[in-house]
Amino acid sequence: MRIDILCLFPEMLASPFDYSIVKRARERGLVEVVVHNIRDYSHDKHHIVDDYPYGGGPGMVLKPEPIFEATESIKERVDYSDLPIILLTPQGRLFTQQVARELALHQNIMLICGHYEGVDERVREHLVSDEVSIGDYVLSAGELAAMVVVDAVVRLIPGALGSPLSFHSDSHSNGLLEYPQYTRPKVYRGWTVPSVLLSGNHGEIARWRWQQAILRTLKRRPDLAKQGNLSAEE
Ligand code: SAM
């Protein structure tokens, strides 16, 4: 997979992709993350990429020309005709595990990060194919949202995780939250690990975990249960 990220502050994206699973996936050649500076596509000698909003109001708006030109330059190398070009915006559809799964199926995705008051509406109308929000709050920079999207998508690429089974039980993978996890020591400050986990009985352990996942989901996120994610038995 190749992920192209268009942004104003590439330095912000330098370190998050140099650790853990994304780093390993890059090293294994499973994903290539290419960061482009929108300023490089400004024709202004001061590399200005924003301007005042028409109609007045606070803040600055990212101009359309550098964003269109950056995208067109990438399209000369990569055919994005059937691939998602995604604007990161608090006005987009909510980024969920389901959306991450959907994006992970693509060979390439492009992420456009806004800043200041956001981007000129013509980018939204005539350039992007999708708009994604990572939650109902406002960040200062699309780069932060891009980090979240890249991490959630890359861990779903086959081979990215150390254990290929680990994302099957992750929260939100099957409509449930994950069961409680414990590690050594068996007793810590008098608090003990549930005895079933020490029993060695894999059938019992699987059943306990499944029950815990259901209880946890009902208690913490009844909205998930209401979405019809639970089977009759669950
Ligand atoms: N004025 C815009 C609005 O109200 O919709 C918000 C602009 S925000 C300060 C600057 C940039 O951060 C946005 O263009 C977007 O790229 C990014 N951003 C902010 N919140 C986000 C969110 N919840 N999800 C994805 N991107 C977000």
3-class secondary structure for 135-176? CCCCCCEHHHHHHHHHHHHHCCCCCCCCCCCHHHHCCCCCCC
Q: How far apart are CA 199 and CA 27, in angstroms?
A: 39
Taken in order of first residue, the domains within the chain and their CATH numbers are: 2-154 (3.40.1280.10), 168-234 (1.10.1270.20)
Q: Ligand 1, atom 19: nearest CA belongs to which residue? A: 139
Q: Is 134 in the pocket of ligand 1 (CB under 6 A)?
A: yes
Query: Scanning the structure block, which residue is given the tokens 């500076």?
Result: 37
Cα(64) to centroid(ligand 1), Å: 16
Residue type, 55: G
Cα(147) to centroid(ligand 1), Å: 14
The CA distances from residue 141 to 10, 134, 212, in Å, are 11, 12, 38
Q: What DSSP string runs through 91-136?
A: EEEE--HHHHHHHHTSSEEEEEE-BTT-B-HHHHHHT-SEEEESSS
Q: Is 84 in the pocket of ligand 1 (CB under 6 A)?
A: no
Q: How far apart are CA 130 and CA 71, in angstroms?
A: 14
Q: What's the pLDDT score for residue 164? A: 66
Quote the percentage of the chain above a pLDDT of 90: 88
Provide the mean pLDDT of the chain.
Answer: 95
* Residue pLDDT, tens place only, 173-231: 888 999 999 999 999 999 999 999 999 999 999 999 999 999 999 999 999 988 866 78
Q: Judge contact between 36 and 5, C-beta under 8 A.
A: yes
Q: How far apart are CA 118 and CA 61, in angstroms?
A: 6
Q: Is 59 in the pocket of ligand 1 (CB under 6 A)?
A: no
Q: What's the pLDDT score for residue 165? A: 65
Q: Just list the catalytic residues.
A: 90, 117, 155, 170
Cα(53) to centroid(ligand 1), Å: 16
